[in-house]
Chain A
């Protein structure tokens, strides 16, 4: 039983005092920012990147991962108690979770959300342990043509599945790819779009772009359109769900986990897609769909499991292929690179302690979150009473220090300010930011694979269709586009997102 052996090895890594501590720290921070609306895991991880330079790569990744899935837990707490999604993935949870809270069943909703997430987390840990190694073996055979087609599929998926307008999302992917071109060209050394600014020669930093758009741009938007917060008043009592609750939730949790895992492996889809789909499935399958929107526990159990499964399965393409399936994963890859580890299928064999330690730590982290969140709910709720006018200057301070410390120079700060403005305009024009970010991250890798693939094939563009795995990715891309453009799906999709 090799998988058993590997997991035991993972436990031995994850259970060192240092790694347990960083796992705990990550989960705690993640829950904190998950609870607070207006700051997401992407911006937080970007801000905290400099901190992780001082610890071992395994501990760094364990902490950053903890922030990521911890935020999914925290987001649901806010959704249930305040009817405000702490994270975008928790939008669906608001619908029935808040209704349950109003009926005095907040405790049951929170507990089911936590248990569902824990189930999903456990399932995904096993999934990564089982399928990670075989995928990495296949991936070692990938040439540039396969990588190019795979990334193309990821970008198209990201665009067509993103919230809002598909055409604009595709344009935003191109925008991201273009931003990725900035800096010295790897092959020729020609400086592209640097406008003779020395600092631009290395390209635009991912952290700069992410903080500018997501932290700064969002604060500008929030200050223009302040959200109403009605903080939940009555106390949370009776944490334990009834037998009836558990019975109703079992199916949705299992289905949500499977759905979430599926969307998770697919590059470009966010946890929000997974939770929306799960909600629709449960509503469809229910004998009495009218209960949905009025406090149906299935509407909490399914989506909450789905978004956690999605978040965790995003690690599969990142760890096995070295391809970031989301903005957060791009930061994780960045963290690996900073520690001198080349991302790709060889991570598993070259750094087994990192790979297995991280996987097992995610399971431990999920367990911690269940134990941590339920007793601490009172604390999280009181945090929500901190007014936004005190919160956003704090976000500004931590972002700015984090950005300055990248190069100890103010130039990145100026660039962040510019991207904050651009990001705000994009938000106003309802252009999705996530596909752009993915394009930006994958851009340099894509250009490189395209060049190499064409070089190897002596300039024959048909190489992408001649190699079977590459062809499969391209066919999948076309299928995704056709399915999403089909009128029936299009209508359903707008029903979900509206």
Chain B
């Protein structure tokens, strides 16, 4: 049976991570860790007591403590796409427990909120025995989603354009994800000035899709550019097959849902 550790401060938590290494499982909301990592771990560290559940607003941007729950996101964040993603996580009890930090580490086919955070080009901040360090969420996933220390905070600027999030699930509520797309597109004189496309269910982790972004930038957001972006996304992604959906189906849904998301943005 795993020993249960409850650090009293971020420094103490970072120390426990440094000294126990991979024999330590971190539990925040518990909805993922209590299923997958904690039962097998030698040591379990509970971080609910560390007060990492604050939401701070600054000049349009957000700083979210890693312990902010899905319910908090639904109730108190001004970004509808984030609210919608949080609403898609489990039922009400799970939403009261599951945290945004846990969502970033959730294995596919979960982790929808992280898809929106990627489209917002968020950064993640870890606390270690050597102090804090921050990196882009995109780089965190690109380098294999390895935590270095304790994830304490997620920061993002205000959306740099119209932000749309769509999820394809198996049922209306409380469904694991077939795929999810988040698109943030800024128009400049009728042409796409900036585009941030993020996909869930399209690989091992939530991923940015540079190929689809490239197909949009500089183009008018219309039938041709949307089709090009959807084709690029379907070609570039590497979804898996599991009990929720097949790789074949996921690839097609990525094209379909990205098309819908971009059409919504084009329609204003």
Q: Do A and B come from one complex?
A: no
Could you tell me which B residues sit within 8 Å of A by CB distance? none
